[in-house]
Chain A
Amino acid sequence: MADGFHADMGPQYEGEVIRKENLYIEFGGPKVARKFELATVKSPEEVENERIELIGPDLKDFTEGGSYPLAILVDVAGSELDKDAEAIIERRIHMFTNYTEGWYHMNQRQDMWLRMNQDCHKKGFESLRELGEILSFLYTSELSIIESIQITLVTDDKKIEELLPHALEVYTARDERTRTLRDEDVDTFYGCVLCQSFAPTHLSVITPDRIANCGAINWFDGRSAAKIDPEGPIFAIPKGDLIDPIKGEYSGVNKIESERSMATYDRVYLYSAFEHPHTSCGCFEAIVFYIPEADGFGVVNRDFKGETVIGETFSHMAGDTSGGRQVEGRLGTGLEQLMSPKFIQADGGRKRIVWLPKEIKERYKEAFEADGVYDKIPTEEDVKNTDELMEFLEKVGHPWIAGEVELPE
């Protein structure tokens, strides 16, 4: 065994799972309220190299077979390291713990779950500090970009409670950064044909700025699914040349659209509801629908049970919209798409929305406020038909009706 550790390590142990029968002790997981793991890039003077600290009770203080709280803090420094590396370094806790014979790591972040088996204990693994030492050893030997590292293991629940809010803030901030990825930043989009059993000509195009119609698959999910099974129902689309940056037409998307729609369609606009709008399956979370009287759009979600301002219900409209067709002025969509900066950008984006269910308006309040239209869009509580709609829009001075919205060129 390497360096006098009581457990062997290497990729051969990665697939090792630990079931309850062989369990010595577990940390985190569903039975434990508070647990987390966090990697932080710090300046060299903040990191005392190879320091391993344990705050709280150790293995000998716990009951065999029990479940206990744990936080793992990995602080690293290195001249080439920046904040973006934190998520990647943190994920290595999963990999390196699984590299360790007799240890099993599941989940991530505040859902972290670790198990140690009985054999490992019998071989003399008696302190959690050793897990810290192993992690430190693996980090420094596998990632030369790390110049210094210190690891803190916390088993004191009070201390974890104190540290957890900060970790949650870091996770949220990281997620926010992920949301800033744009279509321009990547070369590959993803396609999903999971719904083709219902809608044979439907292909959901998934890009950083466009979630799948069902709202369940974003670009990161697409990337991970295509990596596991490239020939499967979720696959890579090389985006090709950008033919129209406003309407969102890409040569690579057109090519795949033609192949996968049995040549029914050979052009798609990702950022418009007109001419060549995206096809709609039967699974969309919401429908964007054109309202001729206002020359604007309404949005209705699946959970909205009543009649929309045009007198049709979601299910009525869904019948006309679904089936894998391109229907001008009708767009099946994931709800999160309303937050996308590319949401029907060619047609005026969120500023061209003239009716929304109250629930949706409130859910995406910030985005509508940022566009200055939150107070201008009526809901089912304000108007019941298109006559009332027009009256409302003119009264409040909706920017689209007032002619203040300029379409991008």
Chain B
Amino acid sequence: MIRTIAIAGKGGTGKTSVAALLINFLSERGLVLAVDADPAMNLNQALGVPLDGAQTIGGIRETLTKDVSQGRISPSVTKMDYMFSKMLETLVEFRGFDLLAMGRPEGLGCYCAPNEFLRRALDRLAKDYKYRYIVMDCEAGMEHISRQTTRDIDILLITSDPTIRGITVASRVKNLIGELRTKVGKMGLIVNRVRDGLPPEIEKAINDSDLEIISTIPEDPYIADLEIRGAPVTSLPSDSPLRVKAKEIAEICA
């Protein structure tokens, strides 16, 4: 069985760093499909891998939509096959994991059919390549999840910092999931950058939001320097609090 893990949360709460570390740890256990579903697209940087100038899935969908309206697609190659082949060309492969960048959500016009082809292509990719884990780095609006995949989520991790705004966004993500067609097995809150325990105001806000804390990550002294150098989070030393906690989360997810 493939296990699908999605990570969402307010920008700047360490969402992508946690995702990258999870991918890193999970890839030691089985093949991972890493999906960058955040249009900001910096999961590859956090992982320390190049995107090779590859197209994004959003780009493919735009090309397909345009080619279709201009009649440029061969009638003998079905669009489902076309989408799958372009998806393979977009996949960037590394040791233990493959990376797929979703890119921008759609523009104007009708995307019902292209999105359907995309959902099917994703299902086929997951099946053919026999991934053990799918890890999705999502933006808070979860646009890509709601539109592009029928795949249910086994574990949804929501990241926040110890701020009211962070918890508010986290709570919004939780409510949003209730409105989507996607089913979620388990949901957990990760509170990042915590100094000397959670302030009572934040604890209260978390309680009110009905979110369950899966992990509390202390402020990591190595992160600032890492960000300045633009180094991947996977290069964090073994005593880094973020790294230690991410490893624990990976064990829960595995």
Contact = CB atoms under 8 A, between A and B. Distances in A.
Interface of A: 15, 17, 19-21, 29-30, 87, 106-109, 111, 113, 171, 174-175, 178-179, 192, 194-195, 198, 212, 214-218, 220-221, 224-225, 228-229, 233-234, 281-285, 302, 335-336, 339, 363
Contact of A20 (B64, B74, B93): B93
B110 A216 contact: yes
A314 to B, nearest CB: 11
16 contacts: A17-B130, A21-B93, A106-B88, A107-B85, A113-B89, A175-B75, A194-B116, A212-B113, A214-B110, A214-B112, A215-B69, A216-B114, A217-B113, A225-B80, A281-B112, A302-B108
B79 A216 contact: yes
Most buried by A among B74, B75, B130: B75
A29 B54 CA distance: 13
B70 interface: yes
B232 to A, nearest CB: 19
B55 to A, nearest CB: 9
A205 B98 CA distance: 38
Nearest to B130: A17
A106 B85 contact: yes
Contacts of A175: 74-76
Interface of B: 31, 64-65, 68-71, 74-81, 85, 88-89, 93-96, 98, 108-110, 112-114, 116, 120, 128-130
A221 B110 contact: no
A131 to B, nearest CB: 20
A40 B168 CA distance: 64
A285 B112 CA distance: 12
A111 B85 contact: yes
A282 B110 contact: yes
A221 B70 CA distance: 17
Nearest to A222: B78
Given A20-B94, A30-B89, A194-B113, A171 B74 contact: yes
A363 B77 contact: no
B114 A19 contact: no
A298 to B, nearest CB: 19
Nearest to B85: A107
A195 B78 contact: no
B75 A218 contact: yes
Nearest to A286: B69
A211 to B, nearest CB: 9
Contacts of B85: 106-108, 111, 113
A283 B112 contact: yes
A302 B109 contact: yes
A221 B80 contact: yes
Nearest to A216: B113
Most interface-central of B70, B95, B96, B116 (chain A CB within 10 A): B116
Contacts of B94: 20
A214 B129 contact: no
B178 to A, nearest CB: 18
B116 A233 contact: yes
A228 B129 CA distance: 19
A221 B79 CA distance: 6
A29 B120 contact: no
Among B64, B74, B110, B114, the one with the most A-chain Cβ atoms within 10 Å of its Cβ is B110
A109 B128 contact: no
Given A17-B128, A179-B75, A215-B69, A283 B110 contact: yes
A19 B93 contact: yes
A108 B82 CA distance: 9
B47 to A, nearest CB: 15
Given A87-B76, A233-B116, 13 more contacts: A107-B85, A109-B74, A113-B88, A175-B75, A178-B75, A215-B68, A216-B68, A217-B113, A221-B78, A228-B80, A228-B120, A281-B112, A335-B71
A26 to B, nearest CB: 11
A19 B96 CA distance: 10
B81 A224 contact: yes
Given A178-B76, A220-B76, A224-B78, A21 B128 contact: no
A17 B75 contact: no
Contacts of A212: 113
Contacts of B79: 216-217, 221
Contacts of A363: 70-71
A285 B128 contact: no
Given A221-B78, A224-B78, A335 B69 contact: yes
A278 to B, nearest CB: 16
